[in-house]
Amino acid sequence: MDEILSYIQGNKERYFAELKELLAIPSISTNPENGPDMQRCAQWMADQMRIIGLQNVKLFPTAGHPIVYGEWLGAPGQPTVLIYGHYDVQPVEPLELWTSPPFEATVRENRLYARGSADDKGQVFIHFKGIEAFLKIKGSLPVNLKLLIEGEEEIGSTNLGAFVEEQKDLLSADLVLISDSSMFGENTPSICYGLRGLSYMQVDVVGPNKDLHSGSFGGAVHNPIQALAEIVSRLHDRNGRVTIPRFYDDVRPLTRREREAFKKLPWSDRKFAGELGVRQLYGEKGFTTLERLWARPTLECNGIWGGFTGEGAKTVLPSKASAKISMRLVPDQSSTKVARLFERHIKKLAPKSVQTKTTLLHGGEPAITPIDSPGVTAAVAALRKGFGKTPLYQREGGSIPIVVQFKEMLGIDTVLLGFGQPDENAHAPNEFFNLDHFFGGIRTIVHFFNELPGHMHGPRKKR
């Protein structure tokens, strides 16, 4: 291992140069204008897979953005790890809030700033460099690897489920490894064992059949912006609970053990509020902040628009208003069921004076992964060596929709071995990746490959 670790140490500058190239490609999956960039980014991933020594590298076209696949199967009898990640990124607006341009990776104070640096290109790159180091120094790996890197994670992994179903043989493995989440804090490694699901909805409210003069018509016609605001304001009650009937029906209650474990984590509400610049936190009564973030379902208005928003004043009573509203879900809620409950509730809340349409944009299911699996015990050992610290156990509020589908379709569990940090500005201006986490991540990954066979074979022998 020493030789591999010193190879990593000796190649830092080249890693930066390569990662900067990857981060320069604006692979914004939701933006149709970036279609050619998505293609270019997928191609970059495939080329990089070949350079580091993977075989059978392929681009699979989908109805959306291409899926990139590569493998190394030179360790017969040893476990096979399916590594999943994504090369697509979130939009960068508002651009003016970025200190350095989002697609020109820049190092400041030991942080690499760029869109996708942490979520998820930088974390995928950690795996590439871990594999490269092993193959360069040893000529082989202790485990078999299959890499599956998609371009639609940030828009709900719409085409990946069907691909996994179709390609069960190609993707068969003993476990999934994903680095697309955060450590508990700076230089505080953790294993994540839970993700929330998501139902993402759009609500369109239409009033009069055209924009109207607010003087000539105001007072006689229900303004769709007002109607929409009335609807949105009724989605939570005074205790911060979501008012949709039966919304909480399938929520798996927190166990006493889990609540106690959360309470033992190093956490301060005051510090958290201070970092976010809010004077007070807000959320469902009766639950702590970590419980609300990781184990309770929530509803957020992501955007709301309508009418005149330009400079100056225009006296208009607009014809339309819309909102994007998403709900984070926890086990055992179902994203399609919650979408139906939402739609029914909106219909009930909508005044007769306007027309309301609700659309499900995409959804993903919540996930809990076992913490006693060989993959997790190997990850714990690897983190100890990679970061010199014993990891904490945590859940996350974000979503990775494919995790549940891997379980359903391939029958395998996922290890969530994230190297980001909670304040990394993912999805926001000035996203960054902590460089200690980047290099600690590469070290951890090579240790993981090295540890896994022992952890997989150990328990089996005992049985």
- What are the catalytic residues? 88, 153
Residue 215 CB contacts under 8 Å (≥ 6 apart), including other chains: 315
How near is the Cβ of 353 to ligand BES at its closest, in Å?
34
> Which single residue brings its beta carbon nearest to ligand BES?
398
The one segment of 153-161, 167-175, 282-290, 345-353 that binds ligand BES by CB under 6 A = 153-161
CB of 86 to Zn ion, least distance (A): 6
Q: What are the structure tokens assigned to 436, written together?
A: 């200690």
Q: Which residue number, 181 or 322, has a Cβ lying nearer to ligand BES? A: 181
Nearest to 317 by CA among 228, 230, 226: 226
Binding partner of residue 398 among ligand BES, Zn ion, none, CB cut-off 5 to 8 Å per kind? ligand BES
Residue 182 partner contact from ligand BES, Zn ion, none using kind-dependent CB cut-offs of 5 to 8 Å: ligand BES
**Amino acid letter, 143:** V
Q: Which is nearer to ligand BES, 306 or 364 (CB)?
A: 364
For ligand BES, the closer CB: 399 or 450: 399
CB of 55 to Zn ion, least distance (A): 26
Six token digits for residue 327: 């709900």
Nearer to Zn ion, 23 or 349 (CB): 23
Kindly tell me which residue out of 71, 88, 180, 424 binds Zn ion, with binding defined by CB under 5 A.
180
What residue 85 binds from ligand BES, Zn ion, none (CB within 5 to 8 A, per partner kind)? none
Query: What's the min distance (Å) between Cβ of 151 and ligand BES?
Result: 12
**Site residue total, ligand BES (CB under 6 A):** 15
Strand order in the sheet with 106-108: 106-108, 111-113, 432-434
CB of 31 to ligand BES, least distance (A): 14
| Site for ligand BES contains 369 (CB under 6 A) | no
Residue whose CB is less far from ligand BES, 89 or 244: 89
Judged by CB under 6 A, which of 37, 396, 424, 431 binds ligand BES? 396
Question: Which of 224/297 has CB closer to ligand BES?
Answer: 297
Contact between 396 and Zn ion by CB under 5 A: the answer reads no
Residue 119 contacts ligand BES per CB under 6 A: yes
Q: Does 431 bind ligand BES (CB under 6 A)?
A: no
- The residues in 183-242 that bind ligand BES, with binding defined as CB under 6 A, are 198
Minimal distance, residue 161 CB to ligand BES, in Å: 12
Give the x/- contact pattern for Zn ion in 98-137, rule: CB under 5 A. ---------------------xx-----------------
Which member of 132, 153, 431, 451 binds ligand BES (CB under 6 A)? 153
Told to check if 425 binds ligand BES by CB under 6 A, we report: no
Q: What is the 3-state secondary structure (H, E, C) of the chain?
A: CHHHHHHHHHCHHHHHHHHHHHHCCCCECCCHHHHHHHHHHHHHHHHHHHHHCCEEEEEECCCCCCEEEEEECCCCCCCEEEEEEECCECCCCCHHHCCCCCCCCEEECCEEECCCCCCCHHHHHHHHHHHHHHHHHHCCCCCEEEEEEECCHHHCCCCHHHHHHHCHHHHCCCEEEECCCECCECCECEEECEECEEEEEEEEEECCCCCEEHHHHECCECCHHHHHHHHHHCCECCCCCECCCCCCCCCCCCCHHHHHHHHHCCCCHHHHHHHHCCCCCCCCCCCCHHHHHHHCCEEEEEEEEECCCCCCCCCEECCEEEEEEEEEECCCCCHHHHHHHHHHHHHHHCCCCCEEEEEEEEEECCEECCCCCHHHHHHHHHHHHHHCCCCEEECCCCCCCHHHHHHHHHCCCEEECCCECCCCCCCCCCCEEEHHHHHHHHHHHHHHHHHHHHHHHHHHHHC
Among the listed residues 37, 154, 291, 431, the single contact to ligand BES using CB under 6 A:
154
Residue 400 binding ligand BES, by CB under 6 A:
yes
Q: Rg for the chain (alpha carbons), in Å?
A: 24
State in angstroms the smallest separation of the CB of 296 from Zn ion: 22
Binding site for Zn ion (CB under 5 A): 119-120, 180
Residues that bind ligand BES (CB under 6 A): 119-120, 153-154, 156, 180-182, 198, 364, 396, 398-401
